[in-house]
Copies of this chain bind each other. A is one copy, B any other.
Amino acid sequence: MTPSDPQTESSQTNPLRDRSRVRRVPERGTHERDVIDRILDEGLVAHVGIVQDGQPFVIPMVYARDGDDLILHGSPASRLMKILASGAPCSVTVTRLDGLVLARSTFHHSMNYRSVVVLGRARVVEDEAQKLAALERLVEQIVPGRSADARGPNAKELKGTLVLRLALSESTAKVRSGPPVDEDDDRNLPCWGGVIPIEETFGAAIADDLSAGDPTPGYVTGYARP
């Protein structure tokens, strides 16, 4: 993984500006929505960048994809949410690490990964029914089946939650996969080359004191990402 900027080609779904081109190793970049959507649907955390007084801040947030939007939420009192809600430019990045790539030269060491960078300006979801739907989508993207069991937000909680949408119209995926790529001169070095796969796995669920001894729901015992 090296510094990467979002690819030249534009598509109907993703009209791109110059700032969204992938300049570094452009063959790794794509604006194909199915590639983008798969990465976004698998991820659990986004890194959200905003600017305040010229200083960037990058903060981890949960998110969901809902069609052509990302959904973000948080406290109306948070600085980050206030800046996002103002419609200021933001950058939302989701990264999945797939492997450590060990080449015969340290220079060609790399990582296998899939990442999506979304640029844009968030918009506030004001309508109560739409807020509820977005929050349910958020729960369902992270733990499918959970919203049927857990109590949904009451009026006070709903008021205390700011819900934002960010269009995927300016989004780019970048993917590196496969074995190391070595210089020809290095291929005879007595040095092992290959990939150490990285996986995100989920351990046995830990019930809290109130649920000790209760049956664990199937959506918890069988938890996996798409």
Contacts and interface: CB of A to CB of B under 8 A. Distances in A.
Contact of A44 (B51, B97, B139, B207): B97
| A1, A115, A192, A223: most-surrounded residue (chain B CB, <10 A) | A192
A146 to B, nearest CB: 7
Interface in A154-191: 154, 157, 161, 179-180, 182, 186-187, 189, 191
B196 A106 contact: no
Interface string A206-226: 111111001111001001000
| Count of this chain's copies in the oligomeric assembly | 2
A2 interface: yes
A211 B199 contact: no
Contacts of A13: none
Given A5-B79, A180-B208, 19 more contacts: A1-B61, A3-B78, A5-B80, A44-B100, A49-B56, A57-B91, A57-B119, A104-B151, A106-B152, A151-B189, A151-B191, A192-B216, A192-B217, A194-B208, A194-B216, A196-B220, A196-B223, A197-B202, A199-B202
